[in-house]
């Protein structure tokens, strides 16, 4: 996989002399210092009074979820609708670049990079935990717990959280950034894409505020993944080697992983990320096929088709479910609202990555490859692992649901314990968590550095070092303040302003596509030729 700055794994390490002088001397600006100031305030508050920060975050999230939580539902649904419209309309033929541009990568290589970049630690954390949790306590009372209807409902809501709604958010970000950078030749920041709505004000304080929100949301999305990854590794080490999972142990794991991805971003080790990603995908596919074969194959296949059918038939009903009680609000904060906010907080990072690898593709091809294929892969992944766990609990062979209720991070390993070669598969799962996070976090560190360096494709090493350390420190602070709940709340709160930004981003994209002079000229020429041929 190519680096986000344009170099390939075969390129020589970038030396300071290779960086353009203008890039080496470009000041970091207000976005860098503004984002750091807000994060520093957050960290100091946690240091002085972790309890008050936790209480404030909880109160703010409860208020937001109870009043405007529906925004977390409406915006991703709107993203799906917008992308389908663009793909099916005449704008679907617009290329992300000049009209003569062609894709830099083959379709298979492009899809592999998309999946390897975003298929992160969440798939290990939630592939079993979410379906088995919904099976034991069906969402919104839509089925009787422990029945086949509960199993189908569990998969339906897992598809909802990890399917087109997630990829729709990534798709709008990626399409907007790709169009802005490749066709309009703008810097890879969020604010320039909103010029059709705000005009020249994006060049002033308003644009800086938008970019600061992008940095903070990306940071908290990353720290959530880092906290989940640390908990997963700790649980795996406990199950395989008997090392107890403790808060201290998770902090040590975060520190080690932070050092790894920061050194990777600094030293150029991530030039070999192409091979790391390929290895990760092969291990993932191998583990999935193994569980499918040794697990309840017939149950998994039947569950998949029935769940997909229910997901499609009740798509809008589930997409717009809002809480009707305090218990509903609490449940959605832990699941639906958190998931949608997590995708929003990752949107800028994933968007920059998708833009980097999608130059030359058409809008229609981009939508199909970014929303359709990954959603299907995620559906299969969750059905294989979640369906296996559900089958084991339905037949009384496991207590995976109990383990997930006690700690969602133990669910994946609890499922593997009921299959052959548990030590081997558990070690593979631990390795996958580490590889997924290191391969994504160094790219994320680069994107944070780029967004806080006025869109520079060559951020200084000092900036890379700062964001690597800040990411690890923030994850530790959140774990100390309130564990996984604090990580989720931070992601949800930081993503709340992004619900409005994403909506405006979609509007801006449509305005820009409609005003695309090169595309409109080619359309008029084609119409003239067709009229003349008659």
Mean pLDDT, to the nearest integer, of 44-56?
81
Q: What is the pLDDT of residue 18?
A: 46
Mean pLDDT, to the nearest integer, of 27-48?
84
Q: What is the pLDDT of residues 265-294, one digit of tens each?
A: 676 544 555 566 667 778 888 999 999 999
Instruction: Report the percentage of the chain scoring pLDDT > 90.
Output: 30
Closest CA to 188 of 414, 435, 454: 454
Q: How confident is the model at residue 297 (pLDDT cuts 50, 70, 90)?
A: very high
C-alpha pair distances (Å), 210 with each of 181, 270, 470, 519: 17, 29, 20, 29
Q: Please tell me the distance from the alpha carbon of residue 430 to that of residue 280, in angstroms, as a whole number.
A: 12
Mean pLDDT, to the nearest integer, of 476-491?
74
Q: Please tell me the distance from the alpha carbon of residue 185 to that of residue 166, in angstroms, as a whole number.
A: 27
Closest CA to 475 of 441, 505, 426, 501: 441
Measure the N-to-C terminal CA separation of the chain; round to a whole number of Å.
48
Q: What is the pLDDT of residues 234-265, one digit of tens each?
A: 887 887 777 877 888 888 888 888 887 777 76
Instruction: Report the percentage of the chain scoring pLDDT > 70.
Output: 86
Q: How confident is the model at residue 534 (pLDDT cuts 50, 70, 90)?
A: low
Q: What is the pLDDT of residue 15?
A: 40
Q: How confident is the model at residue 153 (pLDDT cuts 50, 70, 90)?
A: very high
Q: How many CA atoms lie within 13 Å of 508's alpha carbon, on the beta-carbon side?
A: 24
Can you spell out the DSSP letters for 17-34?
Answer: GGS-HHHHH---HHHHHH
Decide if 400 contacts 132 (C-beta within 8 A). Answer: yes
498, pLDDT greater than 60:
yes
Q: What is the pLDDT of residue 22?
A: 47
Mean pLDDT, to the nearest integer, of 140-154?
93
Contacts of 464 (CB under 8 A, 6+ apart): 262, 265, 266, 445, 446, 449
CATH T-level assignment (fold) for domain 20-515: Amino acid/polyamine transporter I (1.20.1740)
Contacts of 335 (CB under 8 A, 6+ apart): 130, 139, 157, 161
- Whole-prediction pTM: 0.85
Q: Mean pLDDT in the chain?
A: 82
Q: What is the pLDDT of residue 29?
A: 76
Cβ atoms < 10 Å from Cβ of 312: 10
Q: What is the pLDDT of residues 73-125, one digit of tens each?
A: 999 999 999 999 999 999 999 999 888 888 888 887 788 778 766 666 677 87
Q: What is the pLDDT of residue 7?
A: 39
Q: Please tell me the distance from the alpha carbon of residue 16 to that of residue 14, in angstroms, as a whole number.
A: 7
Q: Please tell me the distance from the alpha carbon of residue 345 to that of residue 447, in angstroms, as a whole number.
A: 13
461, pLDDT greater than 50:
yes
Q: Please tell me the distance from the alpha carbon of residue 501 to that of residue 503, in angstroms, as a whole number.
A: 5
| DSSP SS3 for 103 | coil
4, pLDDT greater than 50:
no
| DSSP SS3 for 95 | strand
165, pLDDT greater than 90:
yes
| All structural domains of the chain with their residue ranges | 20-515
Q: Please tell me the distance from the alpha carbon of residue 422 to that of residue 418, in angstroms, as a whole number.
A: 8
Q: Please tell me the distance from the alpha carbon of residue 117 to that of residue 374, in angstroms, as a whole number.
A: 11
Q: What is the pLDDT of residues 354-404, one digit of tens each?
A: 888 888 999 999 999 999 999 999 999 999 999 999 999 998 877 888 888
8, pLDDT greater than 60:
no
Tell me which of 225 and 371 has the higher pLDDT.
Answer: 371
Decide if 165 contacts 316 (C-beta within 8 A). Answer: no
Decide if 164 contacts 77 (C-beta within 8 A). Answer: no
Q: Which of 1-10, 146-155, 236-245 is predicted most confidently?
A: 146-155
Decide if 130 contacts 404 (C-beta within 8 A). Answer: no
Considering only the C-alpha atoms of the chain, give the largest distance between any 2 of them, rounded to a whole number of Å: 79
Q: What is the pLDDT of residue 401?
A: 87
Mean pLDDT, to the nearest integer, of 141-153?
93
Q: Please tell me the distance from the alpha carbon of residue 170 to that of residue 130, in angstroms, as a whole number.
A: 21
Q: Please tell me the distance from the alpha carbon of residue 303 to that of residue 147, in angstroms, as a whole number.
A: 12
Q: What is the pLDDT of residue 390?
A: 96
Q: What is the pLDDT of residue 354?
A: 86
3, pLDDT greater than 80:
no
| DSSP SS3 for 406 | helix
Q: Please tell me the distance from the alpha carbon of residue 148 to that of residue 151, in angstroms, as a whole number.
A: 5
CA angle 178, 163, 429 (to 5 degrees): 100
Mean pLDDT, to the nearest integer, of 173-190?
87
């Amino acid at each position: 996989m190519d680096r986000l700055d344009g170099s390939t794994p075969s390129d020589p390490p970038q030396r300071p002399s290779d960086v353009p002088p203008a890039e080496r001397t470009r000041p970091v600006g207000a976005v860098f210092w503004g984002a750091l100031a807000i994060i520093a305030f957050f960290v100091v508050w946690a240091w002085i009074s972790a309890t008050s920060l936790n209480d404030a975050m909880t109160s703010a999230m409860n208020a937001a979820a109870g009043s405007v939580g529906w925004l977390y539902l409406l915006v991703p649904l709107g993203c799906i609708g917008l992308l389908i419209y663009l793909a099916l309309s005449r704008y679907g033929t617009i290329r992300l670049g000049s009209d003569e541009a062609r894709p830099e990568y083959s379709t298979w290589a492009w899809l592999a990079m998309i999946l390897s970049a975003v298929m992160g630690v969440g798939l290990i954390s939630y592939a079993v935990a979410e379906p088995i949790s919904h099976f034991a306590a069906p969402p919104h009372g839509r089925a009787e717990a422990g029945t086949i209807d509960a199993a189908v409902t569990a998969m339906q809501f897992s598809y909802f959280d990890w399917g087109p709604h997630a990829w729709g958010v990534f798709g709008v970000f990626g399409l907007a950034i790709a169009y802005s950078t490749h066709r309009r030749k703008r810097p890879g920041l969020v604010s320039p894409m909103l010029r059709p709505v705000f005009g020249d004000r994006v060049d002033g304080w308003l644009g800086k505020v938008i970019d600061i929100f992008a940095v903070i949301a990306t940071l908290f999305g990353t720290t959530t993944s880092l906290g989940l990854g640390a908990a997963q590794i700790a649980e795996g080490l406990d199950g395989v080697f008997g090392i107890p999972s403790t808060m201290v142990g998770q902090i040590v794991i975060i520190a080690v992983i932070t050092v790894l991805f920061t050194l990777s971003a600094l030293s150029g080790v991530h030039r070999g990320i192409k091979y790391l990603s390929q290895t990760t995908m092969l291990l993932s596919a191998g583990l999935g096929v193994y569980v499918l074969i040794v697990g309840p194959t017939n149950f998994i296949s039947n569950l998949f088709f029935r769940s997909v059918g229910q997901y499609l038939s009740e798509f809008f009903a589930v997409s717009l479910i809002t809480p009707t009680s305090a218990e509903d609000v609490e449940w959605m904060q832990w699941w639906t609202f958190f998931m949608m906010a997590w995708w929003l907080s990752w949107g800028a990072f994933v968007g920059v990555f998708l833009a980097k690898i999608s130059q030359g593709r058409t809008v229609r091809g981009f939508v199909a490859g970014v929303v359709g294929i990954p959603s299907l892969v995620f559906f299969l992944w969750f059905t294989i692992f979640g369906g296996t766990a559900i089958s084991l609990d339905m037949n009384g062979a496991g207590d995976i649901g109990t383990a997930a209720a006690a700690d969602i991070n133990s669910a994946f390993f609890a499922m593997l314990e009921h299959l052959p070669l548990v030590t081997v598969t558990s070690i593979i799962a631990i390795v996958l968590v580490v590889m997924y996070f290191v391969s994504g976090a160094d790219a994320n560190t680069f994107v944070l550095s780029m967004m806080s360096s006025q869109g520079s494709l060559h951020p200084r090493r000092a900036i890379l070092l700062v964001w690597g350390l800040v990411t690890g420190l923030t994850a530790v602070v959140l774990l100390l303040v309130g564990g996984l709940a604090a990580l989720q709340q931070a992601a949800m709160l930081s993503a709340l302003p992004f619900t409005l930004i994403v909506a405006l981003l979609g509007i801006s994209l449509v305005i820009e596509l409609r005003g695309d002079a090169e595309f409109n000229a080619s359309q008029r020429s084609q119409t003239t030729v067709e009229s003349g041929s008659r």
